[in-house]
Amino acid sequence: MIAITYMTQSAAHHKTVEQIQEEMELVIAAQKDPRCFEPLYTRYYKTIASFIYHRLDSKEEAFELTSQVFYKALENLSKYKVQGVPFSAWLFRIASNELNLFFRKNKSARFVDIDERGAADLMVSMEDVPSSVADEQLFAALQHLEEEEMELIDMRFFEKRSFKEICDITGLNESACKMKVYRILEKLKKKINKTV
């Protein structure tokens, strides 16, 4: 089940090669001595907490899941391998897995914060959809998406993530990620056009 709320979401941040290198130095230090994990925790706590809270309706559950993400990251830090992508991508993947476990276990609704600009971008991305389509029709069509489909649409249009970032988080390759998003857009378009 997907619950949709209307809210403004800021754009995602991109990392430079230098920032990734600096981050990797912190990771390597933390792998040698877990006490050195604190700078990584401090750097990413708010980002991961926001990512999780964006999908839940409860601050308490979001904070609890965020703690679980960092516990698992620290516990598995020795297994982490530097692969040229931001360390944050690994944290996002852990967070995404924890969210999926949470939703399966609790049979809770997944929340999606929809902002006006993201909804407009989504509508523009679906060719041949009349401009008269109301937000309610878009929201109704979004309700028919599977969780994985909604996750991709959410990251692409409402969190403003690049395909590269989405790939880093989901583990998909870029062409597969783009193909999935375009197929989801087609599915939405068909659903909306049936209601027009």
User: What interhelical angle do 135-142 and 116-125 show, nearest 10?
Assistant: 80
Query: Can you list the alpha helix ranges (DSSP code H) found in the chain?
Result: 17-32, 38-53, 59-75, 87-106, 116-125, 135-142, 147-153, 163-170, 174-195
Q: Write down the pTM of the prediction.
A: 0.69
Residue 76: φ, ψ to 5°: -105, 10
Structure confidence by residue, pLDDT tens digits, 32-56: 999 999 999 999 999 999 889 888 8
Structurally, at CATH architecture level, domain 7-111 sits in Orthogonal Bundle (1.10)
CA distances from 73 to 30, 102, 152, 174 (A): 11, 17, 23, 25
Which has the closest alpha carbon to 51: 83, 19, 23, 91? 91
Residue with tokens 């703690």, as numbered in its chain: 67
| pLDDT at residue 7 greater than cutoff 80 | no
Measured CA to CA, the distance from residue 90 to residue 80 in angstroms comes to 8
Amino acid 131: pLDDT? 67
| pLDDT at residue 74 greater than cutoff 90 | yes
pLDDT bracket for residue 113 (50, 70, 90) = low
**Average per-residue pLDDT in the chain?**
82
Q: For the chain, what are the domain ranges? A: 7-111, 115-196
For the chain, how many residues are written?
196
Which has the closest alpha carbon to 165: 92, 114, 69? 92
Cα distance between the two ends of the chain:
24
Measured CA to CA, the distance from residue 36 to residue 52 in angstroms comes to 24
| pLDDT at residue 82 greater than cutoff 80 | no
Provide the CATH number for the domain formed by 115-196 in this structure: 1.10.10
CA 128, 134, 138, 140 dihedral sign is negative
Structure confidence by residue, pLDDT tens digits, 122-156: 888 887 777 666 677 888 888 888 888 988 998 89
pLDDT bracket for residue 24 (50, 70, 90) = confident
CA distances from 95 to 17, 59, 118 (A): 24, 15, 23
- The separation between CA 188 and the C-alpha centre of its own chain, rounded to angstroms, equals 19
Three-class SS state of 13: coil
